[in-house]
Copies of this chain bind each other. A is one copy, B any other.
């Protein structure tokens, strides 16, 4: 019997955990500095909370927890008889594992609304579970890291979140491009191209530009009933990246005008803080528009920066403004804006660039080792003194020749070793060897 984790899940070893803790630590530090407060929700939610929030595909990817005890006693007999899993599940399971952090957050806001002050700014760093087919880089358990503010429609928060992106990635040693767009821009575009009633089809097609190119997007637009002229006009407009020009082009559409004005304001606030960051208006950015109602963001690695040219990775962050976070839970009308850091992908990028700080290499600074039994207690007491002085120290548990502790320190990348014999104990002095230099 060879023990293993379930398919699609992973253990994290100490060397991985030190890197993950560093990454989450940088996120946490910045979330807090920006005034976001931590919350946690339970791993299990009622299925009534989760179901129907992620589309039909999402519902099928929910992990469902079997009811406890004699669960068959209350099961839907007809569904069992007919072996109809989809119907039976409601009577066999009433809880599921968290699928993302957004739906639990919405539930949390409604449930605790009387305890909270609005605007409410929260962050969460927790695992989520999805019964996706496991493949390279895709797991059934992975962490999400979200920051959201709800209860205000002030554009100050859009600017703040762009800045938060920039501060975090900079702290991690990554140069990124932050792309920004607005639902209104795309709505105005659809209107001008004569497809106002086909907004979702238009953005779905535009979202594929990167992958399939303009020609095939044009074909898709036409297959959805758009005129050839409209499709051509639309694709041509999308090559324009000046917000000023878009503002002019969309001046006659309400949504377009509104979107361009909001974007301009956000970009102005952002520019006042950090002219060094690449924040780019990208009219082709069309992510999550079944959900987002205002600004939308996406972060990618800046591959024009030396050392980052070869990083092949999609978006490592994203977010946007949404209108009615709490609607599904009967909460009052509440606008919000939020961002997600793609922590698992950021980890992979940092790994590829070997951009980890030295501190993640080992948890221990020094290993003390007694050369003979009579000095072991002294070595142990000295280890304890070092710890009390704030130094992560360890004592090799068995007295004896240096070979074993030296090998252990080497494998564990503990940078210093102190070998302790009677001479050291009598002199009350440690002689410390640095393994890297041998000194």
A residues bordering B, Cβ < 8 Å?
1-6, 9-14, 17-18, 20-21, 32-46, 48-49, 60-61, 63-66, 68-73, 75, 80, 83-85, 88-89, 92-95, 97, 107-108, 110-112, 115-117, 119, 121-122, 127, 129, 131, 140-141, 152, 154, 156-157, 159-160, 163, 167, 268-269, 272-273, 329-330, 363-364, 376-377, 380-381, 384, 387-388, 390-395, 397-398, 408, 411-412
Contact = CB atoms under 8 A, between A and B. Distances in A.
A330 B3 CA distance: 8
A408 B3 contact: no
Given A112-B11, A272-B377, A6 B152 contact: no
Contacts of A115: 13
A384 B159 CA distance: 10
Nearest to A331: B3
Given A33-B387, A381-B272, A80 B72 contact: yes
A163 B384 contact: yes
Q: State the main secondary structure of chain A at its contact with B.
A: mixed
B117 A3 contact: no
Given A65-B65, A111-B11, A73 B85 contact: yes
B152 A398 contact: yes
Contacts of A45: 5-6
B111 A3 contact: yes
A364 B156 contact: no
Given A6-B45, A273-B381, A39 B14 contact: yes
A119 B363 contact: no
A383 to B, nearest CB: 8
Given A33-B392, A39-B13, A329-B3, A83 B72 contact: yes
Counting every copy of the chain, the complex holds: 2
A208 to B, nearest CB: 29
A60 B71 CA distance: 12
Contacts of A394: 34-35, 121
A35 B1 contact: no
A5 B44 CA distance: 8
A397 B11 contact: no
19 contacts: A3-B111, A6-B42, A9-B44, A11-B39, A13-B115, A13-B116, A14-B122, A17-B40, A21-B38, A33-B391, A34-B394, A35-B364, A35-B392, A35-B393, A43-B127, A70-B85, A75-B83, A167-B388, A268-B377
B65 A66 contact: yes
B376 A156 contact: yes
B35 A17 contact: no
A380 B60 CA distance: 44
Given A4-B111, A35-B394, A66-B92, 19 more contacts: A1-B48, A3-B49, A3-B107, A5-B107, A6-B94, A9-B44, A14-B38, A17-B38, A18-B37, A33-B391, A35-B363, A43-B141, A60-B69, A63-B66, A65-B65, A117-B412, A152-B397, A152-B398, A160-B384
Q: Which of A73, A80, A381, A397 has most chain B Cβ within 10 Å?
A: A397
B63 A63 contact: no
A1 B330 contact: yes
Q: Which of A64, A68, A69, A121 has most chain B Cβ within 10 Å?
A: A68
B4 A46 contact: yes
Nearest to A80: B80
Given A156-B397, A392-B35, A13 B112 contact: yes
A85 B156 CA distance: 55
Contact of A85 (B33, B72, B391, B412): B72
